Amino acid sequence: MSAGDSPEPAASAREAAGTPSPSAAMRIDVLTIFPDWFAGPADVSLLGRAASDGTLDLRVHDLRDWTTDRHRSVDDAPYGGGAGMVMRPDVWFAAAESVWNDLPPAATVGRDGPPPGAAHTVGGERPRTVLLTPRGMPLTQRLAAELAAEPRLVLCCGRYEGIDERVHEQVATDEVSLGDFVLLGGEVAAAALVEAVVRLLPGVVGNEASPWDESFSDGLLEYPHYTRPARLRGLDVPEVLRSGDHGRVAAWRAEQAELLTRRRRPDLLGG
């Protein structure tokens, strides 16, 4: 959110974040045991439009394609005992290597995975690979802008009790969380990350300045919005917004943003 209506703050924010140029397209690969989960969200609204116009190349992969047994097992009992099942590292290594390097599952199934400290590739470079996990760093607007500057992302959706620690260490470049709570799996978090990132790509949102004129973009919550009718059930739109005075409007919005942030999220102000 900027303090006024001028496009300059938005442009500065985009440059600082390194957001791709309008001609760039972003590829996002998602690894999950529930690929059908993404069939609906990926086809509707602005995500669907971004995919159809070539701004977004979203590819969803079934993790079970890299299993080696007839049950297509992706999990096993944890060493040391305990409740729940843990997702197997061999399946994740094979899947990640295939997706990173655009190889079919048969090219990596059965491999032991790269040894510790070795390159994580089979003839190619590892893209930014994000593991969605409750123990990850919080997904913030700043992080979304950083990820939007990447040409490609790979998102890893965990399930069950968790994923073998070697996947955290050897596959993921980042670990990201939606917040201090636990979901059934990483799919919801991955979908949220995709939306947060893709809406920052040039051309996805109708008003180019809009994604940079909102909550968290300058460390504050967004100011209140109003539209027609000017009066509804005795509730009026603030006079300043109907004044036509852009200076007054900018000052009012900045003041309201700070007041709202101080009341609801004082942590953003350092207090």
Does residue 238 sit in the same domain as residue 161?
A: no
Cross-strand bridge partners of residue 152: 27
Whole-angstrom Cα distance, residue 126 to residue 100?
A: 6
Domain boundary among 198, 232, 258: 198
pLDDT at 24: 61
**183 and 68 both lie in a single domain:** yes
11 domain-assigned = no
Q: In 3D, which of 155, 159, 33 has the Cα closest to residue 100? A: 155
**What is the per-residue pLDDT for 9?**
34
Instruction: Give the total number of structural domains in the chain.
Output: 2
Query: pLDDT at position 108, please?
Result: 78
130 and 220 fall within a common domain: no
| 188 and 226 fall within a common domain | no
Q: Which domain holds residue 99?
A: 20-198
CB 163 within 8 A of CB 86: yes
Same domain flag for 141 and 233: no
61 assigned to some structural domain: yes
Q: Are residues 109 and 152 in the same domain?
A: yes
Amino acid 23: pLDDT: 52
- Whether 160 and 216 map to the same domain: the answer is no
Statement to judge: residues 192 and 226 lie in one domain: no
- Main-chain dihedrals φ then ψ at residue 138, nearest 5 degrees: -60, 140
- Which residues are CB-contacts of 177 (< 8 A; sequence separation ≥ 6)? 132, 133, 134, 135, 136, 137, 138, 139, 189
Is the domain of 165 the same as that of 106? yes
- For the record, the structure tokens of 146 come out as 């950083």
Inter-residue long-range contacts of 249-258, CB under 8 Å, 24+ positions, other chains counted: 249/4, 249/5, 250/3, 250/4, 250/5, 251/3, 252/223, 253/1, 253/3, 253/4, 253/223, 254/3, 254/4, 254/223, 256/223, 256/224, 257/1, 257/3, 257/220, 257/221, 257/222, 257/223, 258/220
194 and 228 assigned to the same domain: no
pLDDT for the residue 13: 38
Same domain, 57 and 95: yes
Domain boundary among 198, 226, 255: 198
* Residue 41, in any domain of the structure: yes
Whether the model pTM is above 0.85 = no
Q: Residue 17: what pLDDT?
A: 44
Best CA proximity match to 132, nearest among 72, 67, 179, 166 = 179
**In terms of domains, do 242 and 171 share one?**
no
Strand partners, 176: 137
CATH number of residue 139's parent domain: 3.40.1280.10
Sign, CA torsion 119/171/95/101: negative
Contact 122, 101 (CB under 8 A): yes
Do 51 and 80 touch, CB atoms closer than 8 A? Answer: no
> What does the pLDDT profile of the chain (271 residues) look like in tens digits?
333 333 333 333 344 444 444 456 899 999 999 999 998 766 777 888 888 888 999 999 999 999 999 999 999 999 999 999 999 999 999 999 999 999 999 877 877 755 555 555 555 678 999 999 999 999 999 999 999 999 999 999 999 999 999 999 999 999 999 999 999 999 999 999 999 999 999 989 865 555 555 556 678 999 999 999 999 999 999 999 999 999 999 999 999 999 999 999 999 998 5
pLDDT of residue 149: 96
Is 5 inside a domain boundary? Answer: no
CA pair distance 69, 51, nearest whole angstrom: 34
